[in-house]
Amino acid sequence: MKSLTSRAFLPINTDLFNNPKYQELSCDAMVLYSLYSQRKEVSAFHSQTGDDTFTDSEGIFIYFSNDEASKILRMSVRKISTLRSQLIDCGLISVVRHGLKNFKIYVNTPETTPAETDLVLPWANFDFEKPIKSVPANSASTKSQKLPINQSNNNQTKLLLSRESNESVPQNQSNTPVTPKKSEKDGLNDLSLDSIITRLKDTFSLPVVSRLKVLANNSYTKLKWFSDTIFKAKSQVTKKLLSDARWLYNPASQGATRFESNDLLKRGLESALLQIAEIVYKGKEKIQNKAKFIYVYLRNFMANAVKQYLIDNYELTEDDEIELNVLLSF
């Protein structure tokens, strides 16, 4: 407990700066994430002492209301809500409703920055645990003394230190990785991928786009198929909902069937894609028609997300919910 109570600072994980996955994360969101992380340490301490108040089947969680964060960070509650959505979109936290007013927040560890990444904070990889040898003040090597280098990214760090100390890198020890030349076909595929990914980012969260790229194996044709399949499934769910006169001209229908307004659709899509990958590519049973399975799975997920959105945000009677269940059943 001493490490917690004596802490007079709020650490920020440097992967939030260095990892391209978090490049769109604002500094305010990073500070909020750091608050959540520090609170998680307290929950973890309670768990280690035998108090399971903040532990469930999903792991360790925290209670941290937007009002509480608003007072600490001196921001509006609305601003905190926006920052929390950023963290959810990046996969840094997941939020689950608990009771009528409380929310459980599960704090995830940031993904490690890929080794080949150009670091925004290059000194983040220095290993300060290794002592630096003391050098006499009058030694000629004082000016060229180097900080310890983390071996996972030593090439880039050596280049940085060489520039700062005006040292030259030996010609026979080139630190620049050799990138194989791409064919014209590969170049066009990359360009097409960038084009469709840019469009997808306007609708989906960054984690969803990342999952789609992996599922498509960086193939433009496969990525476009996944994209078209998602929108086709959503279109069928929307058409089915609007086939009922009650929902045809109801403003709630638009909010329920749009990624921009229905967080259950936007956030849940990443989980749906992960489950599809596990079933289709790692499942014990062989799927005969993968394309059909993926479409049906996405359609059913979206139908449930639309239904739950309407139940959570509008006062529906028991009969209304029964009719909605029938309407959105396929």
Measure the CA–CA gap between 269 and 75, rounded to whole angstroms: 30
> Token digits for 13?
């994980």
Q: What are phi and psi of 56, to 5 degrees?
A: -140, -165
* Domain assignment present for 138: no
Average pLDDT over residues 300-320: 88
* 100 shares its domain with 226: no
Q: What is the mean pLDDT of residues 73-89?
A: 91
Same domain, 58 and 85: yes
Q: Which long-range contacts (CB under 8 A, 24 or more apart) does 89-98 make?
A: 89/205, 89/206, 89/207, 89/266, 89/267, 90/21, 90/22, 90/25, 90/205, 90/206, 90/207, 91/207, 91/270, 92/22, 92/33, 93/33, 93/36, 96/58, 96/61
- pLDDT band for position 165 (50/70/90)? very low
Query: Are residues 202 and 239 both part of a single domain?
Result: yes
Which of the four pLDDT bands, split at 50, 70 and 90, describes residue 163? Answer: very low
Give the rounded percent of residues in the chain with a pLDDT score beyond 90.
26
The reply to whether 135 falls in a domain is no
Give 253 or 153, the one with higher predicted confidence: 253
Identify whether 63 is part of a domain: yes
Confirm whether pTM is higher than 0.85: no
Whether the predicted pLDDT of 204 surpasses 50? yes
Q: What average pLDDT score do residues 221-230 get? A: 89
Distance separating alpha carbons of residues 162 and 43, to the nearest angstrom = 44
Residue-range definition of the domain harbouring residue 223? 184-327
| pLDDT computed for residue 201 by the predictor | 83
Q: What is the dihedral of CA 186, 187, 191, 193, to 10 degrees?
A: 20
| pLDDT tens digits, one per residue of 168-184 | 444 455 555 555 555 55
* 316 within 8 A of 324, measured Cβ to Cβ: yes
30 and 81: one domain? Answer: yes
Q: Are residues 313 and 198 in the same domain?
A: yes
Residue 262 reports pLDDT greater than 50: yes
Q: What is the pLDDT of residue 323?
A: 86
Q: Are residues 256 and 124 in the same domain?
A: no
Q: Is the pLDDT of residue 271 over 60?
A: yes
Tell whether 269 is covered by a domain.
yes
Quick check: is 58 in a domain?
yes
Tell whether 320 and 218 lie within a shared domain.
yes
The CA–CA distances, whole Å, from 46 to 60, 96, 106 equal: 10, 21, 15
Token pair for residue 66?
A: 């937007």
- For residues 154 and 91, membership in a common domain is answered with no
Q: Are residues 100 and 223 both part of a single domain? A: no
Number of domains in the chain: 3
Residue 190: which pLDDT band, with cuts at 50, 70 and 90? Answer: low
Which residue has better confidence, 321 or 190?
321
